[in-house]
A and B are shown apart, each in its own frame.
Chain A
Amino acid sequence: MRALINGIGWVTAAGLGRGRQRLGFSRPAGPLPKLSRRMLFAEPDQRFGRLDEYSRLGLAAITMTLRDAGMAEDGQKRPVGVIAATTHGCLTTDLAYLDTMIPHNGAMASPNLFAYTLPNCFLGEAAIRFGFTGPGFIIQEPDPAGYTCLSLAMAVLGDGDAQTMLAGVCDLSQTIPATVEPQPPAAAVFFALGLVPGPAGPPYGVLQFDSTGSLSFMGQRVTGIFDLVQACLHPAGHGSPVRRATVDLNLSTPESG
């Protein structure tokens, strides 16, 4: 399976970013930025104010990814899907909801919070805002490399069920100690994958899974989803600035792996 990476966007403790900004990617320790509507959208947006913290994180990273791919225009429905991996999902929202449910034996349970106690709700928010009509779901998996979402997204593309698939990870800081070791980083990163170059111009390169399930980017083995960001931004692995792929991007040729 092969696909082109047409966009990258993220939210980490260092802030919001996207690949073509050429500002580099880092994942320092510390809290994530407090995400506000103004950081993402120029126009007032009542929906954004209602979102839980987890949905804001996911929607922000998706928005940055679409901007990077030149696909952030609103309104038009289009065959775009999203597959996101998470470890704890909307656990923070679940706890906040329980804090409205428990004190008065359920009488004060918050319907607005409850609506966001499913980890896939931010995919719905992205679908509404950006017109995504393709498949969308959340996965949890034991593999810390976290790139199963990429292979599933590439399979959707290969089957022709979407023209663009966004795939990535989304996790807030853990609020319950020691449920998983090591803790996943608080961050969200998404990749825009397609079989043809996107409107932003030449893609970052070719992502490929071989028959053993190994992931490679431009022929170099990738060991995790955050490594893939670095590989896209610094293809030579020497801290070089973003360099557009110069290899053959014709995905109709037979796979070598």
Chain B
Amino acid sequence: MVNIAMPSQVMSMLEPFLVRALVGALLTSIIAATSGTFSVLRGLSFLVSGVAHAAFGGVALGIFLQEVIGVKWFHPLLGALLFAAIVAVGAGYAGEGGFTARMEAAIGVIFAFSMSLAVLIMFYLPAEKIPLIWGFLFGDILLLTNEDLFLLGAMTSLMIGFTIVFHREFTYIIFDPETAEAYGMRSRAYHYLLLVLSALAIAAATKAVGAILVYAVIVIPAATSALVGRSIPSIALRVFLIAICCQYLGLAASAVFQAAPSAVAGVLAALIYLIILLAKRRGQ
């Protein structure tokens, strides 16, 4: 049986943790509109999942270095960002010249390596630290800390800033990298820049919503919008709207029905994808 919260209870929930969740959802939606849109259009939706799971390995390494080796300055989040960057550079290297399939394979390799590393490391960690690692996979937007929000805000700002300045370059390397290079643009540099930025932003979002649901919140809205969009800006706007509506509805559901907000957001996003896909297939 579900607990229906009274309006007064809902009002009392407007506490710092809820404000952090609302801001976190907003920032994650912006990351979805930028990193998610570019990744899906590039045929690289696996990047999102790959980065999220590689970041999990990075967190494990960070905790291991802090707790077992004694490298106190190596924050687990630094490990997450480092591993995210490794996925991006590895995928970028494999895919130079526009080979998306090779990029997906490279992401798969680093994904498997990071997860294996995490499992190996867990064996050497004190038992009370293990939930910290799993927490990264099953992050909860209601448990965001100010530190998480700061990281998410920083990565979102980076992504917005670079996208505003280089949105044409990012579009050109997805659409026709060879011509861009032939006309004098440094396609290779933008290829890596987009991958690394996207990966860092996705790693920060993973900390907010968890590795599994980051896929739902970032990839599903982008995949849905790509079905119907007629230009990249219109796709990005739709991605943002779908991601934020799903997440806010998820938060509302969590307040009223005590359901996990990211899970509700994921189910809603998947339903929207299904409806749009069916509508499009019928229209063809």
Q: A and B from one assembly?
A: no
